[in-house]
Amino acid sequence: MAFWPKIRTGSRERVCNPDAVPYAVFENVGLTIGARKVLHGLTLSLSEDRVGVIGLNGSGKSTFVRLLNGLRSPTDGKLTLFGAPSAEAEKELPRHVGFVFQNPDHQAIFPTVEEEIAFGLTQLGADKTASREQARRFLSDHGFGALASSPFAELSEGQKQYVCILAVLVMQPRLLVLDEPMTSLDGLSGRKIREKLMSLPQKIVMISHDLSHFEDFDRVLWLEDGRLRMDGPAAEVLAAYEADIDRRLGAGMEVAAL
Ligand SMILES: Nc1ncnc2c1ncn2[C@@H]1O[C@H](COP(=O)(O)OP(=O)(O)OP(=O)(O)O)[C@@H](O)[C@H]1O
Ligand SMILES: [Mg+2]
C-alpha cells in the first residue's frame, strides 16, 4: 500500500472539504432530462459509511448516484457535496469520488488493463513509468497480474467489472460510488470484491438488485419513480421492498415501464 501516491491538493484554494460529514446534502433536489422529470423532491443527507440504493428498473438509481460525482447536476433544489454547492465542487469531485459504471465499456478508456489502472495513478501525480510499475504491482496483488497486458476489450464481462473496480480503488477516493458493480462476477470473484469493499476505509454508495449485498450496510434508500419511497436501516428497507415486490407479483402488476 505504501507505493500509492498521496492525493495532490495543488496550490489552488480548496472548494470542498473531502472529510466533510455529511458528504452529500440534498434539499428538495429534482432532475429533468429533456422533457422528462427523472428525480423529484429528494431531501436527504448522506454521512454513513455504507449506503445502498435499491429500486425497480428505471426508478432513477443510476441518475441519482450520478449527482454524487458531477456527471449530472440538479435542475431543481440544492445539492451540497463535501460541504460545497455542487456547481462549485464539480471540478474537485474526480479526486474525491470514484465511480464504477453500470456498464464497464462506458468506464474503460485505455486499450490494456495495465494502462487503465495506471491512468488513475497519473491523475494523482505519478509519472508515467512509475504509474505503470505501480499498476502492475497493484494488479498482481489483486490476482490480476497475468492479465495486466491484456486488451480490455478481450476480457470477459466479469473480468471487465473487476478491472473497473480496481481502476477506481487504486486512486483511493474518499467516496466510492458503485452502480451495480457485481452483476457479471462469479460467486468467488463477487465474494472477494464484496469482502474487499466492506473492509475499505472509504465511504460507499452502491446500487444493486442483489439485496444480499446490503445485509451489512448502515442505510438503504429505496427509489420509486424518481422519488424516495423509503430510507432507513438496511433490514427494514429491504424487508419492505421485498414485501412490495411480492405484492406486485401477487397483484399481477406489470414491470416498470422503460
Ligand atoms: N439520458 C437520458 N435521457 C432521457 N431519459 C433518461 C436518460 N437517462 C435516464 N433517463 C430516464 O430516467 C429514468 C431513470 O433511469 P435510471 O437509469 O436512473 O434508472 P435505474 O433505476 O438506474 O434503472 P436500472 O435498474 O434499469 O439500471 C428512466 O425512465 C430513464 O429512461
Ligand atoms: Mg441503473
pLDDT digits (tens, 9 = 90+) for 211-242: 999 989 999 999 999 999 999 999 999 999 99
Domains, the chain: 24-111+151-250 (3.40.50.300)
Substitution site in 38, 101, 179 for ligand 1 pocket (most atoms within 8 Å of beta carbon): 38
Indicate the length of the chain as a whole number. Answer: 258
Least confident of 114-118, 127-131, 187-191: 187-191
Q: Which residues are placed with Cβ below 5 angstroms of ligand 2, an ion?
A: 62
Q: What would the mean pLDDT of 28-38 be, rounded to a whole number?
A: 97
More confident residue, 184 or 83: 83
Tell me, using a 6 A CB cutoff, whether residue 32 lines ligand 1: no
Tens of pLDDT, residue by residue over 62-79, are 999 999 999 999 999 999
Substitution site in 39, 62, 210 for ligand 1 pocket (most atoms within 8 Å of beta carbon): 62
Q: What would the mean pLDDT of 29-38 be, rounded to a whole number?
A: 96
Find the 179 Cα to ligand 2 centroid distance in Å: 7
Q: Which of 84, 82, 153 is nearest to 113 (CA)?
A: 153
Tens of pLDDT, residue by residue over 9-24, are 444 567 888 888 899 9
Angle of helix 128-141 relative to helix 113-123, nearest 10 degrees, comes to 120
Rounded Cα gap, residues 201 and 174, in angstroms? 8
Average pLDDT, the chain: 89
Tell me, using a 6 A CB cutoff, whether residue 60 lines ligand 1: yes
| Chain centroid to CA 22 | 17
- Point out the ligand nearest to the CA of residue 210: 1
Contact call for residues 203 and 48 (beta carbons, < 8 A): yes
Tell which phi-psi region holds residue 166, choosing left (phi > 0), alpha (psi between -120 and 50) or beta.
alpha
Tell which phi-psi region holds residue 98, choosing left (phi > 0), alpha (psi between -120 and 50) or beta.
beta
Q: What would the mean pLDDT of 179-193 be, rounded to a whole number?
A: 85
Q: What angle do CA 131, 144, 168 make, to 5 degrees?
A: 55
Share of the chain above pLDDT 70, in %: 93
pLDDT confidence band for 246 (50 / 70 / 90)? very high
Contact call for residues 224 and 54 (beta carbons, < 8 A): no
pLDDT score of 255: 58
**Grid coordinates of 79:** 445539492
